[in-house]
């Protein structure tokens, strides 16, 4: 199953902000600071996959920028959690959010951890009442976010990294840096990833558990091709 996403024409836009939660007007920002009705920064600072914390020593201007960048994500959380027509009985959780580098750690500019540290990248999981990821609805979630919000990239990310080999699915949302006047350029890209490899750019492709042998076979073929190439290079 796959779905094409209609890109929004206007990629440069001004973010709509609730005036009651405008970071530009805040004199103190911490985990309890709300950036949308019912959504605090703390909901992005303690993801279940890799807990983080706010860069409180960086100063107010950095925290305001972080808060501005998280507003699109707060709007995603609020809308998905309140949309019972699409996601009744499910809960959208932040698996990975704000990242703060360890002392002495070097974070690659523009990389995964750097984007997280700036509030621009959040990893989401859609859980049922038992806390289990709903694979079918995760596919719909990626499509829903891509069609209802502005972003740099939405990634439908599948993997079988669990020792059991069980299929896992997450949605990664990357947003641009939000300027103080709340304007930004949005790239509006989507892709599907399986075990760290891009399967489709510009498309969401649903990977089902029964399709895993075929997907794994593709990866084995890629590895074989690389080994053959390396072996051939050694013979030169």
pLDDT digits (tens, 9 = 90+) for 188-198: 999 999 999 99
Q: Is there a domain that residue 235 lies in? A: no
Task: Report pLDDT for 236.
Answer: 43
pLDDT band at 45 (very low <50, low <70, confident <90, very high): confident
Q: Is there a domain that residue 215 lies in? A: no
Mean pLDDT of the chain: 86
C-alpha span between 19 and 13 (Å, rounded): 18
Tokens of 120: 């621009």
Cβ–Cβ under 8 Å, residues 173 and 162: no
More confident position, 93 or 56 = 93
Domain range enclosing 11: 2-207
Is 26 strand, coil or helix? coil
Tokens of 75: 């709007």
Task: Report pLDDT for 52.
Answer: 55
Q: Is there a domain that residue 171 lies in? A: yes
Q: Is there a domain that residue 214 lies in? A: no
C-alpha span between 153 and 186 (Å, rounded): 8
Structurally, the chain folds into a number of domains equal to 1
Residues with Cβ < 8 Å from 26, sequence gap 6 or more?
33, 64, 67
Q: Is there a domain that residue 220 lies in? A: no
Q: Is there a domain that residue 75 lies in? A: yes
What does the pLDDT look like over 107-161, one tens digit per residue? 899 999 999 999 999 999 999 999 999 999 999 999 999 999 999 999 999 999 9
């Amino acid at each position: 199953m796959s779905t094409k996403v209609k890109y929004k024409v206007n990629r440069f836009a001004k973010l709509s902000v609730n005036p009651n939660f405008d970071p530009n007007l805040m004199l103190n920002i911490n985990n309890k600071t709300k950036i949308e009705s019912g959504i605090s920064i703390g909901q992005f600072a303690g993801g279940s996959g890799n807990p983080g914390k706010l860069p409180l020593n960086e100063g107010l201007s950095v925290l305001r920028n972080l808060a501005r960048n998280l507003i699109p994500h707060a709007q995603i959380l609020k809308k998905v959690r309140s949309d019972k027509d699409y996601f009744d009985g499910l809960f959208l959780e932040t698996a990975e959010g704000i990242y703060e580098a360890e002392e002495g750690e070097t974070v690659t500019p523009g990389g995964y951890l750097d984007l997280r540290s700036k509030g621009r990248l959040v990893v989401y999981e859609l859980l049922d009442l038992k806390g289990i990821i709903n694979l079918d609805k995760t596919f719909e979630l990626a499509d829903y976010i891509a069609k209802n919000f502005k972003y740099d990239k939405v990634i439908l990310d599948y993997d079988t990294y669990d020792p059991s080999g069980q299929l896992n699915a997450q949605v990664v949302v990357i947003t641009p840096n939000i300027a103080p006047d709340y304007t930004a350029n949005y790239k509006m890209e989507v892709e599907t990833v399986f075990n760290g490899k891009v399967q489709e750019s510009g498309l969401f492709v649903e990977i089902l558990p029964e399709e895993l042998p075929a997907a794994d076979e593709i990866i084995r073929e890629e590895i074989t091709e690389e080994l053959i190439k390396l072996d051939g290079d050694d013979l030169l």
